Structure 1
Amino acid sequence: MIPVEVLEDFGAKRVEYPKGEVIFSEGENANNYYQVISGEVKMNNFNYDGKEFVQGMFFSGQSFGEPPLLANVKYPANAEAITDAVLLKLHKLKFLDLLSSHPKIHLGLTKTLASRLYYKAIIASELSTQEPEHRILRLLDYLKKHVHKLQEPFSYKVDLTRQQIADLTGLRVETVIRATKSLEKKGELQIKSRKVFR
């Protein structure tokens, strides 16, 4: 997203987070910009019964947690390393200086945030009205086209577990398994060596 050298010029530090470590917690002040160098991060909440809801997953080159940082509000969710991860961490004031100094980067960030808002609006509608197969395809198409920038049929090897797909679509794992098998029969997905391709 933002070139690493630009972030480091403004004082960003590389920070290592082992798998399972919390990067920030719901209710904390948003004081830093985070960008993934390697590994995977998820943002989540837990309901009163302890059930996890995954707000989003972020991969190498992606940033997360910007809306509360820019809106000057507390984090509405937790961020946790799904795998061992290396992140660039830049203090809020230096991040705002970076955006002021680099209008093209600022515009790029605005486009990224707009794309995420669009995706969240679509997914909110899908979760309340659409069938499991449709929800899964919508999620995978978003990741394929907007995260991994792929277009060709079956070029995207899904790097999510069935549990993660369930968490992101509000489904049960058993439902995800049945739906992916059905989608394979319909020619929407391919499954090779237990890996899903879209």
Structure 2
Amino acid sequence: MKSTYSYAKDEEIYGEGKAATFCYQVINGAVRISRKLTNGRRQIGAFYFPGDIFGLEPWFQYRWSAEAIAEATTLRPVRRKALLRKAQSNLSFARNVWSITERDLRHADDHRILLGQLTATERLAAFFLQINDRIGVGGQIELPMSRTDIADYLGLTIETVSREITKLSDGRILSRPDGHLRWNSGITLLRPESLRAALPRSFAFDLSATSEDVMGLTILHPCNSARSAFRETDIVAKVGCWPSPPQPVPIRPPHHADPEERRCRMRPRPEHSRA
């Protein structure tokens, strides 16, 4: 089994309802998880960037579909059973795995509030603030997702997303290198404090579902080595995330019992006479 796999833009990683055999860490690129409704509409649940871990389902099937949203997206798969086995024998590791699940649940709860209670302006403000915290550099953000992806994540139409971004650009809150002519993935947050002021005071939004600080460098982070890919045995030795299989406890079957013991079992019990 290869240690990393590359996916083209919009290529499916796994589908909704498929067996949840692996979870993944993003090494390069970006990933979205989404679910299509029967009426053809799509809801995006989360975005994942380098260092993030996704696909750790509580059930045996994936509840969402996952697709790459950037060219040459590189992922490292980890067997779900391997994680669960190690969690059973390592309390610290189990806490890390629980942290991933807990952050996914918190993100889902925040996303539900965003979709149900915030206005379009507030949704864009929360989105840009958290994306800036995750992948922004000095306010510069290279968005790998399209306007359609942002709209399907925030529960808005493409026209509303474009209109709100234009309003933010006209208000000198953010800038786009292409001005107002067309959509461009690169934006700059000029006044992030204005975006924070647009959000309700009691709303603390956390968009980061999972990241490298949850699992730690010694578990799923890319290895520091001259080689870019490892065999599975190399990952075991260098990363330590593949637990050794549990050793079976030898149990002697009844038919292998000592002959004298078997004769004792077959002897009839003496009947005690009543006084």
More strand by share: 1
Contact 1:140 1:158 in 2 (8 A): no
Give the Å deviation of 1:82. 1.9
Aligned to 2:14: 24
Would you say how many aligned residue pairs link Structure 1 and Structure 2?
A: 181
Give the Å deviation of 1:108. 4.1
Give the Å deviation of 1:172. 0.9
Paired residues for 1:29-108 under 5 Å? 29-66=19-56, 68=57, 71-83=58-70, 84-100=72-88, 103-104=91-92, 106-108=94-96
Give the Å deviation of 1:169. 0.4
Q: Normalized against structure 2, the TM-score is what? A: 0.58
Distance 2:110 2:91 in 1: 29
Distance 2:89 2:125 in 1: 39
Aligned to 1:6: none
For residue 176 of structure 1, the aligned residue among 155, 161, 171 is 161
Q: What's the % identity of the aligned pairs?
A: 23
Question: Are 1:123 and 2:111 counterparts?
Answer: yes
Question: Are 1:157 and 2:144 counterparts?
Answer: no
Contact 1:33 1:65 in 2 (8 A): yes
More helix by share: 1
Question: Are 1:166 and 2:158 counterparts?
Answer: no
Q: Normalized against structure 1, the TM-score is what? A: 0.78
User: Which protein is bigger by CA-based radius of gyration?
Assistant: 2
Distance 1:107 1:144 in 2: 28
Structure 1: where are the runs of 5+ without partners? 1-10
User: What is the root-mean-square deviation of aligned Cα atoms in Å?
Assistant: 2.5
Q: Deviations over 1:133-162 (max 9, x none)?
A: 1001111222222x33x6x8x614141322
Distance 1:101 1:184 in 2: 53
Deviates more, 1:33-42 or 1:183-192: 183-192
Deviates more, 1:100-109 or 1:155-164: 100-109
**Letter of the structure 2 residue corresponding to residue 54 of structure 1:** I
